Structure 1
Amino acid sequence: MRVIDQINSSKRTAFSYEILPPLKGTGIERLYKTIETLQEFEPKYINITTHRSEYVYTDLGNGMFQRQRLRRRPGTVAVAAAIQNKYDITVVPHILCSGFSREETEYVLLDLQFLGITDLLVLRGDKAKHESVFTAEKEGYKHAIELQEQINSFNKGIFVDGSEMKVTATPFSYGVACYPEKHEEAPNLDTDIYWLKKKVEAGAEYAVTQLFYDNRKFFEFVRKAREAGITIPIIPGIKPMKRIEQLNIIPKTFKVDIPEELATAIMKCKSDEDSRRVGIEWCIEQCKELIAYGVPSIHFYSVAAEDSIKEVAKVIY
């Protein structure tokens, strides 16, 4: 069953979460442990992130850096297949513009289709760490909508070179990202919503938000999206705050605000365990309010937070 069908048919607020493929040489057992930690809450699907390959640089100490090697994070496709096979659960690999050419994307789509994985989350992706602005790969895309167009053509049996497939299979279904506090590159929220609507018109069936801690901003975002004619499910993305240092790291990394009440509570904490408890309590109240509002699903970002998510889910599910 497609993700959108699972969301629409769920009798209660659906539960899902995102995981990160393991680093080279670390194995998949840690991921299995995360899945088994959260399995009791009957997740509708599991997202698997994709990270672009990046060059590793060595500081030469004279203001210069030397490029050493290309670092890759082992395969999202393989991890998705392993999880689907082991747990018989819908998996949703991320597919990116960032770091991929059109032909590379086509081969990813072929591999996924061979494996019977036909749900995707379509994203532009982040810029490379050494880039000041996002730069598309040669023969790649600058915008998620362009990637959607390739997937739509693939679904119709057309390859990127215009040739036709001899055999077609189950078409891909996909969601996209959205940003209650606007994407960092958008000049304003209205412009961001304009582009979300374009992604919906291009075929997105649902949207998952960037993480946030202020429900008022989510509610306002949804209101403006509905006024703009966007009718697809908008799924809140949530991550419990865990460590004191995240009070500075999260706003810088994800370009989101921390509500004053939460920031004050974290600043009073004497240890990371104290801040973890504050983060769990805040997340529980945040999720209760979202459920009362009527969100169809809550999507958790689980990296380094699965223990906190379990405590939250015990209360709200």
Structure 2
Amino acid sequence: MKITEHLSSAKKTLFSFEVLPPLRGQSIHSLYEHMNPLMEFNPPFVDVTYHREEYVYKKRENGLLEKVSIRKRPGTVGICAAIKNRYNVDAVPHIICGGFTKSETENALIDLDYLGIDNVLVLRGDPIKSEARFVPEAEGHHYAIDLVKQVKSMNRGIYLHEEMENSAPSNFCIGIAGYPEKHEEAPNLQADVRHLKAKVEAGADYVVTQMFFDNSKYFRFVELCREAGITVPIIPGLKPITVKRQLAVLPKIFHIDIPEELLIELENCKNDAAAKQIGIEWAIKQSKELMEWGVPCLHYYSMGKSDSVYSIAKAMF
């Protein structure tokens, strides 16, 4: 079932969350242990992230260094199939530009279509740690809008390279990312909204936002989107603070602001356990206001740990 169908048929705000694939070598049962408590709240869909390869340098016998590609969290497609089979919910794989050629993207989409996966969240993806900026593959996409166009073409039965008669179209519902505090590379929020509109016009069906801690930023973002003519659902993404060091880490990585009130409360915490409780309480307050505002769904970034999201969902759903 498509995400847009879930949203349009819902009689109340839905609950959903995002999971990380297990690290290479870990059992998928570690993922199930994370998900099992959260299934109590009947999420209609669960997002599964994709993580690009990273590189390490290994010294060869001749003394030279060899650049070796590794993937720390493989298995997004397989995990989506496993989630769909085990829990009978829609799994939404992240499809990214980075690390893929157009042909590899098409092959992944064909596999997902065969598995009955109805939804994809398409993203450009971040630069790998060894790159100062995003570098696409030689035969890959530079921007998320190009990836949206490829998925949309497959939905019309148009595939790469080959002229095929009576080709079977896919039927993916296409999600994209939105940034209430703007994407780090955008010159301003208005420009970022224009880029978002272009992706919607290219075929995107809904938007999921990056995490934010100030609801007014989300409300303003939605207002700007509607003024620009973007009418698709805009799902807020939330992440509870779990440890004090996230005060420094989250703004640096995600280019977001921590509200002063939350900052003061967290700085006064004596340990991570106290910070975690503040994070839960703040996210509940955010969730209540967003639900009263009438958002279609509350989407939580669990980051591989379910206990904080469970506490929030228990209070909300």
TM-score tier (shorter) = over 0.9
User: What letter corresponds to residue 122 of structure 2 in structure 1?
Assistant: V
8 Å contact kept, 1:175–1:207: yes
Question: Relative to 1, partners in 2 of residues 1:282 and 1:155: Cα closer, same or farther, differing over 3 Å?
Answer: same
Counterpart position of 2:277: 277
Residue 15 of structure 1 aligns to a residue whose secondary structure is strand
Q: Across the two proteins, how many residue pairs are aligned to each other?
A: 314
Q: Which amino acid aligns with 1:76?
A: T
Question: In structure 2, the residue corresponding to 1:30 is in which secondary structure?
Answer: helix
Matched residue, 1:101:
101
Task: After superposition, give the CA deviation of every residue in 1:18-73 in whole Å (9 maximum; x if it has no partner).
Answer: 001111111111111121110111101000011122212469xxxx9763443352
Deviations 1:105-128 (A, max 9, x none): 011011111111121001111111
Q: Work out the CA distance in 2 between the residues paired with 1:172 and 1:228.
A: 25
The Cα shift of 1:306 comes to 1.3
For the pair 1:235 / 2:235, whether they are aligned, the reply is yes
Change (3 A) 1:187 1:71: same
Aligned amino acid, residue 140 of structure 1? G
**Sequence identity (%):** 49
Instruction: Specify the alignment match of 2:161 in structure 1.
Output: 161
Structure 2 residue aligned with 1:221: 221
Q: Which amino acid aligns with 2:296?
A: P
In 1, Cα distance between equivalents of 2:89 and 2:135: 35
**Which stretch of structure 1 is more off in the superposition, 47-56 or 189-198?**
47-56
Distance 1:304 1:150, change over 3 A: closer
Residues 132-160 of structure 1 show CA distances to partners (whole Å, capped at 9, x for unaligned) of: 11111011011111111111111111211
User: CA separation in 2, counterparts of 1:138 and 1:11?
Assistant: 46
Paired residue for 1:110? 110
Please name the residue that 1:75 is paired with. 75
Q: Give 1:171 shift.
A: 1.2
User: Contact between 2:156 and 2:170, CA under 8 Å: does it hold in 1?
Assistant: no
Q: TM-score, normalised by structure 1?
A: 0.95
Aligned to 2:188: 188
Q: Which runs of no fewer than 5 residues in structure 1 stay unpaired?
A: none
Give TM-score, length-normalised by structure 2.
0.95
**Partner amino acid, structure 2, of 1:274:** A
Amino acid at match of 1:199: K
| CA RMSD after TM alignment | 1.7
Q: Note the alpha carbon deviations across 1:189-215, whole angstroms, 9 max, x for none.
A: 000000100111111111000001011
Alignment of 1:1-317 (within 5 A): 1-57=1-57, 67-164=67-164, 166-317=166-317
- Offset, 1:87: 0.9
CA distance in 2, matches of 1:165, 1:70: 39
Does structure 2 conserve the Cα–Cα contact (< 8 Å) formed by 1:241 and 1:280?
Answer: yes
SS in 1 for 2:92: strand
Partners in 1 of 2:286 and 2:262 — Cα distance? Answer: 11
Kindly provide the amino acid, as one letter, of the partner of residue 180 in structure 1. P
1:96–1:125 CA contact under 8 A, matched in 2: yes
Moved over 6 A (4+): none
- What is the letter of the counterpart of residue 282 of structure 2? W
How many angstroms does 1:167 deviate by? 4.3
Q: Letter of the aligned partner of 1:232 in structure 2? A: V
Equivalents in 1 of 2:289, 2:58: separation in Å?
47
Cα distance in 1 for residues equivalent to 2:69 and 2:10 = 46
- Distance in 1 separating the partners of 2:304 and 2:111: 29
Q: Tell me, which stretches of 5 or more residues in structure 2 are unaligned? A: none
Distance 1:167 1:72, change over 3 A: farther
- Write the letter of the residue equivalent to 1:220: R
**SS of residue matched to 1:46:** strand
Q: Retained in 1: the 8 A contact 2:53–2:69?
A: no
- Hey, what's the Cα distance between the residues in 1 that align with 2:224 and 2:194? 10
Contact 1:56 1:71 in 2 (8 A): no
> 1:174: Cα distance to partner?
1.0
Moved more, 297-306 or 193-202: 297-306
Distance in 2 of aligned mates of 1:132 and 1:55: 14
